[in-house]
A and B are shown apart, each in its own frame.
Chain A
């Protein structure tokens, strides 16, 4: 598992350039352009199970969801950041991408440190040091567990139809 490490205010244009917003919408179209203007090596070398560590305000800027769709599609296991921008945070819940807000873990991380995630118990281990993070409320975990918002909505609509 590789840890990709970035700084503060990584915005949506760095994660996925705006010029492609209205021409790329499927995961396959998005993948080659992920982090294109920030780290051209990312799209080529990212592997399923990799993790991103970043500073404050990760995902700020546009409401475009291609960054989240793309990161999920290439198999990013979690993004650990000091903080996230709110639309990005919601988009991640809706796509089932795990975001962990844990400034202590980010500050403690040095290049090459081992990183382990224990999602169920809300723990992250960086170079042997354990940090806990706040788990999401149950209403939100239900959306992620359904495999994202659209699956959650489909089930809700089906149930409504059965009950009416």
Chain B
């Protein structure tokens, strides 16, 4: 029987010959990702942890990234409890503040590999589809249960085939492609489904694929995946992962899909998601001239080297508009260091940017760069929900790093093609 990517992975992990959509299977994931929420997770199972211990020291990957450095006594205490837990139970994969955003860490440290199954108590866990991994978000309670037992159930999803043909025009980036798709199929267009990207995927770097898989959840997807190719192999080789250490999974030729969509990449223009839903997508040129108070380049969606590089190309030797602010948020320490050595950080600072420590920063409104009532932010993040950046009377627009950098220059929403 020909199977989709999700069917093949779930068959492999549930030790079934084949599986069909709707079937419930029991799986043992390779890793469980948790972050600052680890404090709340372990609090639920204190007694059980003392009695039974953790299922495996190798299962958990814990990254402190959401509110770093701690912003209050409460968040400081959360971090403290997590560090104590890590020591007490010998958790092997722990990354303290400053290492970077959990999803970036998973991929750049080679913890998420092709053909693996990873669950995480964060909705953007779906990002690792960038390197051919099946990964999906779960809640805190389920993460607690997994820490103890190492297993959970998954429903085999229907799969959607997204065929992307052609190449990208100047000023158009992976972020525009994924926003265009979400605008087309809606924020619930892939609900419960596994999304597979097919077609001319060689157009996209691993950074690009990360951006697109990351936003799978913004169309409701369970996971979103790019199949392993030379681009993936080269990326993994560069981070020290040899081909022999992973087993990629590919969808079969005659697998069954619940839906198939086809997009011509040549037809896609720079787009922006307007308040307050990610599927409220318009061409940037239709909303230009809207003033912006804050511009954010970074996050798990667009905080990688290529993103900062594009911004630097636009901002080099120029100053941002005096009535706006520019925040830069590298996705990891590794990205930060590379951007420093290439002079990118220098360019961004000279243009007026403020660099924040590698982490989630202002994206979730818990600290750093919170908006005031009536303010407007243009961001490279993945969500523009009302209140997301800490104030329900503020507005958030989502675009590519180029669109955000162009907007920082002019102080209003600007099509990057005007300044590139």
Task: State whether A19 touches B149 (Cβ < 8 A).
Answer: no
- Report yes or no: A17 in contact with B139, Cβ–Cβ below 8 A: no
B36: nearest chain-A partner, CB-CB = A22
Which stretch of B71-79, B89-97, B264-272, B340-348 is in the interface? B71-79
Decide yes or no whether A61 CB sits under 8 A from chain B. Answer: yes
A6-19 vs B, CB cutoff 8 Å, 1 = contact: the mask equals 00110111100111
A104 at the A/B interface (Cβ < 8 Å)?
A: no
Pair B44/A61 contact, Cβ less than 8 Å: no
Q: Known interface pairs A25-B40, A150-B44. Does A61 touch B141 (Cβ–Cβ under 8 Å)? A: no
B149 touches A22 (CB 8 A): no
CB closest chain-B residue, reference A161: B52
The residues of B that contact A47 with a CB separation of less than 8 Å are none
| Docked pose: A119 CA to B149 CA in angstroms | 30
Contact with B149, one of A23, A63, A95, A156 (Cβ below 8 angstroms): A156
Q: Is the CB of A65 within 8 A of B149?
A: no
B141 adjacent to A18 (CB under 8 Å): no
Minimum C-beta distance from A52 to chain B (A) = 17
- Whole-angstrom CA separation of A21 from B37 in the bound complex: 8
| B187, A150: Cβ atoms closer than 8 Å | no
Find residues 253-302 in chain B having any chain A CB closer than 8 Å to their own CB. 277
B123: chain A residues at CB < 8 Å are 61-63, 87
The answer to whether residues A22 and B66 also contact, given A85-B220, A87-B138, A90-B142 and a CB cut-off of 8 A, is yes
B145 within 8 A of A: yes
Structural contact, B386 and A149, CB atoms closer than 8 A: no
Which of A37, A91, A153 sits near B139, CB closer than 8 Å?
Answer: A91
Q: What's the interface size class on B, roughly?
A: 35 or more
- A70 interface hit (Cβ, 8 Å): no
Cβ contact within 8 Å between B141 and A95: yes
Q: Are A14 and B387 in contact (CB under 8 A)?
A: yes
A18 touches B139 (CB 8 A): no
Contact B387 A149 (CB under 8 A): no
Is A135 an interface position by the 8 A CB rule? Answer: no
> Given the complex, which residues of B lie within 8 Å of A90, measured CB to CB?
138-139, 142
- Taking a contact as CB atoms under 8 Å apart, the answer to whether B187 and A60 are in contact is yes
Tell me the complex Cα distance, A161–B149, Å.
Answer: 12
In the complex, which residues of chain A have a beta carbon less than 8 angstroms from the beta carbon of B122?
63
Is B237 among interface residues, defined by CB-CB distance under 8 A?
Answer: no
Q: Shortest distance in angstroms between A131's beta carbon and chain B's nearest beta carbon?
A: 20
CB <8 Å contact, B390 and A19: yes
Contact of A61 among B192, B365, B385 (CB under 8 A): B385
Task: Return the chain A residue nearest B154 by Cβ.
Answer: A90
Q: A37: which B residues are within 8 A, CB to CB?
A: 386-387, 392
Bound Cα distance from A148 to B144, whole angstroms: 12
Say yes or no for A68: interface residue by CB 8 A criterion.
Answer: yes
State the Cβ distance, A7 to closest chain B Cβ, in Å.
11
Q: Is the CB of B191 within 8 A of A83?
A: yes
Check A150 against B386 for contact (C-beta < 8 Å): no
Chain A CB within 8 A of B366 CB: yes
* Interface check A140, CB cutoff 8 A: yes
Which of B36, B67, B74, B141 lies in contact with A94, CB distance below 8 A?
B141
A132 lies within 8 A of chain B by Cβ: no
What are 24 A-B interface contacts by the 8 Å CB criterion?
Answer: A11-B385, A13-B383, A13-B386, A13-B387, A18-B387, A19-B390, A22-B37, A23-B72, A25-B40, A37-B387, A37-B392, A57-B188, A64-B37, A68-B139, A83-B188, A86-B192, A91-B141, A94-B141, A139-B24, A140-B24, A149-B145, A150-B45, A153-B145, A153-B148
| Residues of A participating in the B interface, judged by any CB pair closer than 8 Å | 8-9, 11-14, 17-19, 21-23, 25, 37, 56-57, 60-65, 68, 83, 85-87, 90-91, 94-95, 137, 139-140, 148-150, 152-154, 156-157, 161
Contacts A64-B140, A87-B138, A87-B139 aside, 15 further interface pairs with beta carbons under 8 A come to A8-B188, A17-B387, A18-B365, A19-B366, A23-B75, A37-B386, A83-B188, A85-B220, A86-B191, A90-B139, A94-B145, A148-B141, A149-B141, A150-B144, A154-B48
